[in-house]
Structure 1
Amino acid sequence: MEVSSRVQEGLESMQKGKSAFSKQAKAKVLEPLGAITTGSQFLEPDGMFPNHIPNPEDKAAMKAITKAVLDNKADLGIIFDTDVDRSAAVDSTGCEFNRNRLIALMSAIVLEEHPGTTIVTDSVTSDGLTTFIEKKLGGKHHRFKRGYKNVIDEAIRLNSVGEESHLAIETSGHGALKENHWLDDGAYTMVKLLNKLASARALGKGVGSEVLTHLVEGLDEPAVAIELRLKIDQNHVDLKGGSFRDYGEAVLKHLESKIEVDPNFQKAPVNYEGIRVSGFGGWFLLRLSLHDPVLPLNIEAANNEDAVKLGVAVLGAVKEFSALDTSALYKFVQRS
């Protein structure tokens, strides 16, 4: 990927991170291309992470980079995790590009270059993202499993059987492109954004929100989006010496049986992980964690009332499983 220094000249780019790469990127990539990096923060490596968790999904981390962008009137803010395989951005208006919105933005860029291509994502992406990719951008959304290696391997597999895919990306900020040899590379993801921003500037189309935010216009985002983690007590008598994975699968099977006879809900016709269900204008996904004795529950809805209805349905189906800690879910449904 090449970004012309002539095109880049004058762009104000904020950067924050906690890795040696962050400091190197500022001094050896952005500034030589003409970017103004005044106000960049937390660039010195510090394994104690005294400012906030180095996570592009973390609210405190995104709040900090957003404040830096607005305070310094920058065109773009970039944030990395510790090993730079995850990233996110903030535009000149303070609009955050992480999770579904980052996927939408990257999909818009990639589908301009490769019309009709398949975008592979993890399982917790929103219904609105599917509509945006397929109806607005003319691509195909292939919602697969959690885990960056899973989405990358699935994109590679699709290409091997004749279905073109150029982007595999997770809501966590992991992303890989075919043109970059499917490397899980957060820095490359941000270069794609910078290149789009700089190219638009060269063509006289403006910078900041006038470019990136317009690319995601039409993305329907839920008013309520939560993730709850329902832990499995591995020492509980209900496990009877079995594994937490077997217990979790039993929970999912029971939930599925309940949903199938409830006219308010519809199972996702294509689903690769857990139980994904639509209803009350929203959806929920209950799945087994990749590594931990946990059943993560994602709920998205247009309002709090409908989100609670979805939570009540899940709680009613799983509450009889005594080894499953449903206290977080119970607290959520009681807030209505």
Structure 2
Amino acid sequence: MGIPKVPPNWMGLPPELREKVFSNCNVLERSILRDVSTTDRLVADKHPYFINEIFVLLNGNESSVFVTEGDQTYTVQPVSKLAKLLQTPGLKIDKIAFESGSKTFDKVFSTLMRSLDNIPKDSIHVKELVFYSEISFPGCTCECPTESSPDSRINSFFKLANTETLNHIKITTKLTRDLWKKITATEQWNNAGSISVENCKLDAVDYFNDWKGKHLKVLTSKAEDITNSDEWKRSMVKIERFFKTKPLGATMQFRREMSTNVLYAQCLNKIDLSHDANLRLYTFRGLEFIFGFVRPNDGTPPGVEACDPFEERRHRDWIGEELHAMSISLCSWLG
């Protein structure tokens, strides 16, 4: 009898066979296998490390991590592997979203953050960060988190994102004023090109003093009584003055969540404000909202349809295709 052949182990496989294995692995699997040997690292790094979305669901004492690559979605288990994934050299991520199933980012978020303590600051190349909790659902009467609550570590995660890569930030959860100050002091916040804040208080306009971006959306809580509020008037004046320094194409939306009579007020209250020799801030005002965008100061007559095609497109993006069509009909009827 001949000597039985011993099946080759992983280290005995030639690079071309390892290449076939790596081509069928997802980013997490390749990030683990690349550390086996120098050869594995060279083979693994031939493939781009790209993730469409990392979705982190925080629910009670548990958390789940779902990763989407193209049309494939898989679960990261245990959750502690997320740190390994985020430290993959050359990793590019379109979006990281955190969603809490309870009223705040409870203690499980702190546990998750502790597992990320060894990740260097400014090292995660992600384009969009989202923080959401069900506290923003209509009719929710949950209490606002205190400064000692675990979600005060949200600002710590901000600092992990690469400043040059991060372009959009969305926050839909109530935070304390002190925590807001910490978040808005980060380079990541102040250099993001686009920011959306929902279910916030009127003082949210104070969080953008050092922000260098172009696109802003702020929706105050439905509980905020802003119709005849001096605070609301102060906020409108401040945000108008703030956007008069923005470049061409900048857009802003500041209103109460679910505000009414928006279209009618848009048609009747068109206001042009001086911007500079070549630009103007064009705004729509109502009792509970202000919209605006920066357009060329070229003598174009006021009106949504008189603006350039890009401004018309942005207007549709703000209020939706159907509402856009309604506004055109209403403006025509008003003559």
TM-score for the superposition, normalised by structure 1? 0.30
Q: Is the strand fraction higher in 1 or 2? A: 2
Q: Is the helix fraction higher in 1 or 2? A: 1
Q: Compare CA radii of gyration and give the structure with the larger one.
A: 2
RCO higher in structure (CA 8 A, sep ≥6): 1
